[in-house]
A and B are shown apart, each in its own frame.
Chain A
Amino acid sequence: MSTSRPADSSAGAPAPHLQHHFTSPAQQFESVVLGMWLFLATEILLFGGLFCAYAVYRANHPEIFEYAHVYLSKSLGAVNTAILLVSSFTMASAVWAAQQSRARLLRIMLALTIACGLGFLGIKYVEYKHKWHEGLLWGKLYRPQHEAAPFSAHHAFEHGQTPPAAPTSAPGDTDVSWVFTPGDTGPRGLLAPGDTTPLVSPEPKVHNVQLFFGVYFALTGLHAVHVLAGLVLLGWTLWRAALGHFSAAYFTPVAMVGLYWHVVDLIWIYLFPLLYLIH
């Protein structure tokens, strides 16, 4: 938060980080914490809109979700969940270290948190890349690449299905060439070895599969942007920690970045089962 910088403090004042319009460090800290919680409330409502879109499509078209979720890797999702949970733990430990004035532990914990965040984004990148290659994208860009996927051609053959034709435009007097027809059987998607999810969706005649990927990319994309922002903030905090700015007397930025990071984790805690663990 902008107020966390120790400017404005008059020289020789008993509490160097106290700004002139606060009467005590406790009042200042509590104000910043309340401000941060209000900001986090706005973050939750920002994601709330996307959760609403998810709920509406999931409730009205469960078949889309049951069909399409097999293209997400449960294993990678679970690993990413664990990574974020660990990063939340290291972040909370960083706050504790700052409160105890343990500068070295603080730096280690912040660095570990950053490493976890980078790991999360790395796995996310692998997932996105496969979706991209297989054309499992949102609305307008949804073009399943049946032959391109390593597992799918083999799989379709195995089940005696002919590969579906390329997307065609619908008949009609209006130009609907921008409407895409999803394939009967999509590509195998990104499955880690050992995943036992069925290779073919139980309901082959599923329409508007692109909606699932639209919701998936909107939710995880906005979340990834927040992870990225969190990493920038963590980098800034680590840099200041390296300069020795934080101690038991002043650790507000560490605590605030921590709260933000935990909310990023909190949102993923819901995203993981809602997107990856559809039964």
Chain B
Amino acid sequence: MSPSEPTRPTAAHPVGHHVPLRVLAATLAALLVLTFITVAVTWFSWSDFGRAGNIWIALVIATLKAALVALYFMHLRYDRPFNAVVLISALLFVMLFCALTLMDARAYQPDIQAYRDVDPAHYAPDLQRP
């Protein structure tokens, strides 16, 4: 798909960008292939990358797919750059939120455990099973 194919606004077509069907169909094909790959990788073990090794592979593929949708289906590639800034800012702030919260939650897990160990019968009811 050549980037020069989609048209810029002209006098006849005053607004928007025309991304032709050929480009859209190629995008769909790429997305379906990536979906197959992301399912296929779960058939193999990735424990070399740690217990959660496959989550990173899954996230990388998902991000590739999301980028394809945004760039071609949503015309971001041909659009005003500021719209991309808006999208990327949203993603960055989601990451900021997740990162700091996750950093905290990981750090206080031992505190929770210590608390539960004090009196499991009382503070860890989910462990009390017949």
Contact = CB atoms under 8 A, between A and B. Distances in A.
Say if A and B assemble together.
yes
Nearest to B39: A78
A44 B94 contact: yes
Given A26-B14, A279-B46, A279-B53, A93 B24 contact: yes
Contacts of B80: 30, 33-34
Interface in A19-55: 24-26, 28-30, 33-34, 37-38, 40-42, 44-45, 48-49, 51-52, 55
Contacts of A277: 38-39, 42, 54, 58
A265 interface: yes
Nearest to A248: B13
B90 A44 contact: yes
Considering residues A34, A92, A171, A274, which has the most beta carbons from chain B within 10 angstroms of its beta carbon?
A92
Interface stretch (A80-88, A127-135, A144-152, A225-233): A80-88
Interface string B47-80: 0000111110011011001100110111000011
B91 to A, nearest CB: 7
A193 interface: no
Contact of B52 (A28, A51, A62, A86): A62
A41 B89 contact: yes
Contacts of B65: 269
Contacts of B101: 52, 55-56
Contact of B69 (A88, A93, A249, A251): A88
Contacts of A25: 14-15
B39 A26 contact: no
A10 interface: no
A124 interface: no
A221 interface: no
Contacts of B9: 26
B66 A85 contact: no
A270 B66 contact: yes
A26 B82 CA distance: 16
B114 to A, nearest CB: 15
A272 B90 CA distance: 21
28 contacts: A25-B15, A28-B15, A30-B15, A37-B86, A42-B90, A45-B93, A45-B94, A48-B98, A78-B35, A78-B39, A88-B69, A92-B19, A92-B72, A93-B24, A99-B13, A99-B16, A168-B129, A170-B121, A181-B126, A255-B16, A258-B74, A262-B69, A266-B69, A273-B59, A274-B55, A274-B58, A277-B38, A278-B54
Interface of B: 9, 12-16, 18-21, 24-25, 27-28, 31-32, 35, 38-39, 42, 45-46, 51-55, 58-59, 61-62, 65-66, 69-70, 72-74, 79-80, 82-83, 86-87, 89-91, 93-94, 97-98, 101-102, 105-106, 109, 121-122, 125-130
Given A273-B58, A277-B54, 9 more contacts: A38-B86, A44-B90, A74-B39, A82-B32, A85-B31, A88-B31, A89-B73, A269-B69, A274-B62
